[in-house]
Amino acid sequence: MSFTFEPIGIIHSCFKEKFGIPRQSGLIPEAEGQLEILPPYNRPEAFVELQSYSHLWISFIFHQAMRDAWRPSVRPPRLGGNRRVGVFASRSPFRPNPLGLSVVELQGVEQQGEQIVLQLGGIDLLDGTPVIDIKPYVPYCDAIPGARSGFAPEPPGAPIELTFAPQAEATLAQLPPQQAEQLRRLIQRILEIDPRPAYHRNSVKRRDYGMRLYDFNIRWQVDAETVTLTRIEAFQEEPV
């Protein structure tokens, strides 16, 4: 049996590359994006009453995690990247069918003519992610207090001492204050969750990292216990 699905929408995300994206939804409320509904699904009737829900389930395709062969076990970063668990006991993007499921905050539904755009918060989705379904999050049946949660019982991360170097502060100072504040908080949260590969975590060696957020290249340095945001630069496409 095989089935073919068409995306009903596409994600526009602050996360322009995979590195640095939180490993679950809801971890970073400041991580915002838009879900643009594609024709022929951009029918206002299909969204009546959606706004009465605060959160949604988004089913999507891990379109940048497609592999020819699937592996029955994976090494989750939460286990330090060196213990294997079954792929079906994990939320890894690398699975037989590359389908993802995220609970996100619905911040608004915008309709303008043929355009329907859902404003989302708390996303863990890459820019360009194809969405195949939307369902309301219904706490009376979807939230299960006391549910057991295997090897990932607690949210990841811990507060860090993050310093913004003068170059990074200078870029922030050129932005409208609200945008600068949002970007600063988003960066702080991403680095608290710590996107580094597990085998870098206990290393004392100073290392540089980078990611693209919105239209900025962000660079930071981790040195034993200190984290420094070294640069924030406007992203420029490579000349062709």
Q: Which residues bind ligand SAH (CB under 6 A)?
A: 18, 21, 23-25, 62-65, 91, 93, 100-102, 124-126, 129
For residues 62 and 216, which CB has a smaller minimum distance to ligand SAH in the complex? Answer: 62
For residues 123 and 168, which CB has a smaller minimum distance to ligand SAH in the complex? Answer: 123
| Close Cβ partners of 178 (under 8 Å, ≥ 6 residues apart) | none
8 A C-beta contact, residue 95 and residue 87? yes
The 10 Å Cβ neighbour count of residue 189 is 16
Min dist. Cβ of residue 30 to ligand SAH (A) = 16
Min dist. Cβ of residue 174 to ligand SAH (A) = 29
Per-residue b or e along 171-181, where b marks 16 or more CB atoms closer than 10 Å to that residue's CB: bbeeeeeeebe
For residues 105 and 124, which CB has a smaller minimum distance to ligand SAH in the complex? Answer: 124
Min dist. Cβ of residue 70 to ligand SAH (A) = 15
For residues 65 and 160, which CB has a smaller minimum distance to ligand SAH in the complex? Answer: 65
Min dist. Cβ of residue 18 to ligand SAH (A) = 4
CA-CA distance, 160 to 180, in Å (whole number)?
20
- Asked if the bond preceding 40 is cis, omega within 30° of 0, the reply is yes
Amino acid 157 reads: G
CA-CA distance, 72 to 53, in Å (whole number)?
36
For residues 134 and 168, which CB has a smaller minimum distance to ligand SAH in the complex? Answer: 134
Bridge partners of 176, per DSSP, are none
Q: What CA–CA distances, in Å, run from 154 to 54, 149, 166? A: 23, 9, 35
Min dist. Cβ of residue 131 to ligand SAH (A) = 10
